[in-house]
Amino acid sequence: MKTEDQIKAAILWLEDLMTATDRGIGQTKEELGNKAIGFCCLGRACVVTKIKYRGLTATSSALVGKVGLLSEVGASHYEKIEPPITEEDDIGMLVSSWTRRSTPSCAQMNDKEGYSFKKISKRLQKYPNQYFLPEVAKGIKEHFA
């Protein structure tokens, strides 16, 4: 799929999330959903981009390519924060470990954190590099600037 098409699809999804609740679209958790029970944020992406999915599945691999997500659950990446933390373990050995900072995935924001569709959209608009391929993120940033 072309990057321009991914950008258009991602923008369509994010704009849909901004008004979904106002249009009476229900929000559900831990499955893509349907009209009867509502949708999760990733389910809305499947609907607006016309991706077919079976039953009450939790993710769609087709969605990754369609909107340029980094993963099926809209997972963000981890960043290494320097310097590493050096501590003594329980027997006095020095152990270095990287502190990791992460941001919640789309699924986690929807299912665990209870973010509204609108709040999820705003986060994805503000930090697209954490959720989308670089060129798609750039297009999203430019559109919502």
pLDDT value for 99: 44
Q: In angstroms, rounded to a whole number, what is the distance separating the alpha carbons of residues 72 and 61?
A: 6
Question: Which residue(s) pair with 79 in the sheet?
Answer: 101
- Block residue for tokens 């901004």: 18
Summarize pLDDT for 66-83 with one digit per residue, the tens.
999 998 888 765 444 444
Name the band, by pLDDT with cuts 50, 70 and 90, for residue 103: confident
Would you say residue 58 has pLDDT above 70?
no
What is the Cα 33 distance to its own chain's centre?
Answer: 16
Of the candidates 111, 124, 112, 133, which has an alpha carbon nearest to the alpha carbon of residue 40?
A: 111
pLDDT attached to residue 87: 54
Residue count of the chain:
145
Whether 75 contacts 105, CB under 8 Å: yes
pLDDT of residue 115 exceeding 70, the answer is yes
pLDDT for the residue numbered 95: 47
